[in-house]
Amino acid sequence: MADPEPETLPALSTADITVVIPCFRRTEALRRLLQSVAAELPTSSVIVVDDASGDASPQIAALCRTFGAQVMRLSENGGPAAARNHGLAQVQTQFVVFIDTDVVLRA
């Protein structure tokens, strides 16, 4: 976790950020989070890692399509840390933000 001095950070746009979201079944929470990410980080890339959610996987994939997020589906549940690592491996931007599904971004 970093706690930088804001004045030392380079000028960023939200396009410089990829949001990685580990998800296990919580489709309604994911919907709220994706709505808030779209509002607060509108040009960021978003990767949702479906941590083997079983019956909820089609709903997770549909939400990702709706919000323009990339979805990665894991075949075995490895927990949030493993899901974050899988998502991180796909990140192409300089900065990454890890957000869990129990969070909603605010201005």
Q: Is the pLDDT of residue 73 over 80?
A: yes
**Amino acid 107: pLDDT:** 81
The alpha-carbon radius of gyration of the chain (Å, integer) is 14
* Mean pLDDT for the stretch of residues 72-87: 96
- Binned at pLDDT 50, 70 and 90, residue 51 comes out as very high
Planar angle of CA 71, 99, 46, nearest 5 degrees: 35
In SS3 terms, 53-90 reads as: CHHHHHHHHHHHHHHCCEEEECCCCCCHHHHHHHHHCC
- pTM score, two decimals? 0.89
- Binned at pLDDT 50, 70 and 90, residue 12 comes out as confident
Q: Is residue 9 part of a domain?
A: no
Q: Is residue 14 part of a domain?
A: no
* Mean pLDDT for the stretch of residues 46-65: 97
Q: Is residue 44 part of a domain?
A: yes
Range of the domain at 68: 21-98
**Amino acid 60: pLDDT:** 97
Q: Is residue 5 part of a domain?
A: no
Q: Is the pLDDT of residue 89 over 60?
A: yes
Q: Is residue 65 part of a domain?
A: yes
* Mean pLDDT for the stretch of residues 75-92: 96
Number of structural domains in the chain: 1
At 20-35, the pLDDT tens digits run 999 999 999 999 999 9
